[in-house]
Chain A
Amino acid sequence: MMDFPKTADVVIIGGGVVGTATAYYLAKSGRKNVVLVEKNTVCSGSTGRCGAGIRAQWGLELNCRMALACLDTFEQLDEELGLPTGLNQGGYLLVAYKEKEWEQFKKNVELQHSLGIKTEIFTDVKRAQEICPGVAVDDALGFTFYQRDGHADPFLTTFAFQEAAKRYGAKFYKFTEVTGLKVEGGQIRAVETNRGTIECGQVVNCAGSWAQDVAKMAGIHLPNWAERHEILITEPVDPGVCPPMLMSFSGNYYIQQRPHGSIIAGESPSHEPLLGYTSTAHSIESIAKTIIKLLPRAKNIRVVRQWAGHYDMTPDAAPILGETDVKEFWHATGFSGHGFMLGPVAGQIMSALLNGEKPPIDPTIMDYRRFERGERIVEPNVV
């Protein structure tokens, strides 16, 4: 057992993909004494429960740019981190069923093309079936597809960040719960935990669904809430059942087949805030019905597990990145269901911000004070 540290340069709260990526990029930048505390085990919260998708098909320039930077990062991440991340670029096939949605898709694709995202847009069901064999989408109005989109393994990715960060000297402490934050003279001074107090110069709150509680310890109000989403996975079967991430906002589904053979599928809830990881019989039935409707030949594939996870929501479903009114108390949270895909770039941005350098993407607009000012980042392409 490592001795628990009394001091640190930076303390990162939360061991999901955002926290571990932040730890990695900070340690890699040369920062000494980077400490990450996690109240459970690394990857036990939203990251480890997510649908694993990565896409550049967004409707807002900021999100397109962040997602493109993430694709660039993911494409060389195995080599950089020295461990596999399970990246599988089978594309995202987005399905529109409603007129208004289809009109929005056309606008999104125009924006995507202007940014170098070469999304294909079409109405031919046969083309959709080339991408996803046997998919039953006669009731759809149209489709968009971008081959570089796909999915990676959230566990492998997060652990790869952790292992690589350790090599650069970062320290990870699991079962370490933050119980208080010490603020003096308007600046963060220490993190109190169930294992002792760590005096530190900077703190990054990457606590996801619990970020609001952590922020409150320093007197900062974040308008986040946890929304429960449910998901299931099947036994592994031969490839080709659902090669792309098959997804629809109006159809309320996403389905993908891992390179390993298992099929993962999920749906969104009715958007009421629900904290808890309980999975329901209703959801397993409802998701099964959706899969059978879209992929009738999957009917004899067996479901092996179902589970639930949280979307760490903000009022505009866009992240909160940046410093707070308490000096050197930083936030990277509120990813609203997209933390896994945006995590690597969030880590790069946070590392740059903490080092006083220019981040790869300007995060100014993602300041948490936008909510007080009545501003919103409006992204049309979300579940």
Chain B
Amino acid sequence: MTEKRNVICRCEEIEIDEIREWIARGYDTFDELKRELRVGMGPCQGRGCRDIILRELSKATGKPISELNPGTIRPPVKPIKLGLLAEDK
């Protein structure tokens, strides 16, 4: 039988169990989970995982998602090749 895995962050291959484990240790903000597990640090910048993780945080803290800090989203909006950035305009 194949192992049942529930991958939440596909960029960094982080499973829901790991997210829940760190929330239980008190890492109950998006940015703390990001620092520990790299969720939201991959090429998709959290487009895939942010909503699911915020939902988990909401469940754990009892706060509505609208009151949670969604974490910092950094430039660039989409990955850009170094060669393109370095080009003279």
Contact = CB atoms under 8 A, between A and B. Distances in A.
Interface of A: 41-44, 48, 155-156, 159, 163, 172, 233-235, 260, 279, 284-285, 288-289, 291-292, 298-307
Interface string B56-89: 0000000000000000001110011111011000
Contacts of A307: 74
Contacts of B48: none
Contacts, number: 76
A303 B35 contact: no
Contacts of B35: 43, 48, 155, 159
Greatest chain A CB density within 10 A among B31, B80, B81 is at B81
Contacts of A298: 82
Given A284-B76, A307-B74, A41 B32 contact: yes
16 contacts: A155-B35, A163-B25, A235-B42, A235-B79, A279-B75, A284-B75, A285-B86, A288-B86, A289-B85, A292-B82, A299-B81, A301-B81, A302-B81, A303-B80, A303-B81, A303-B85
A136 to B, nearest CB: 13
Given A48-B35, A288-B82, A305 B75 contact: yes
Say what secondary structure dominates the interface of chain A. mixed
Given A43-B35, A44-B31, A301 B82 contact: yes
Interface string B40-57: 011101000000000000
A41 B45 CA distance: 20
Interface string B13-49: 0000000000001110101100110100111010000
